[in-house]
Amino acid sequence: MNANEQVGIPRWQIITGYVLSGLPALAFVPSAYMKIAQPGDFLSKWTQGYPAGSALPLGVIEIGSYLLYLFPRTRVLGCMLLTAYLGGAVATHVHAQEGTFFVPIIVGIILWAGLYLRDNRLRQLMPLVQG
């Protein structure tokens, strides 16, 4: 992010935005690692709901989208791709009748909140307060 994009944003909001933007790594990095490395009995559990061949591409999409989210020029695209990915996670949890469907929703909210706090362009596109 260059200095022009941060003009008018209080320092505490920029720092909070970066902290919130880093938190989803706690979900995405281990999840992508499991899908890419496929350690132990990962595939036996994975194939209960998905084809075995889908793990690697989904892991690459997951980590790739998160990396796009981290780079300033592609952060909005990355956030949109991660939101779509999380929508699939919500659908999977609902289909499996698991009560944890709210976790990807919370992760998505954190993604957008982190981006919103540190990006003037997003604030202009979606103002929370009319003024």
Q: Which residue has the tokens 């595939």?
A: 43
Q: Is residue 129 part of a domain?
A: no
Q: Is residue 114 part of a domain?
A: yes
Q: Is residue 112 part of a domain?
A: yes
pTM for this one?
Answer: 0.86
Q: Is residue 131 part of a domain?
A: no
Q: Is residue 68 part of a domain?
A: yes
pLDDT tens-digit readout, 46-85: 998 899 999 999 999 999 999 999 888 999 999 999 999 9
Q: Which domain holds residue 86?
A: 10-124
Q: Is residue 5 part of a domain?
A: no
pLDDT category of residue 43 using cuts at 50, 70 and 90: very high
Q: Is residue 105 part of a domain?
A: yes
Q: Is residue 2 part of a domain?
A: no
Domains held by the chain: number: 1
Instruction: Specify burial of residue 18 (Cβ count, 10 A radius: 0-12, 13-18, 19+).
Output: middle
- The average confidence (pLDDT) of the chain is 90
Phi, psi of 8 (to 5 degrees): 85, -5
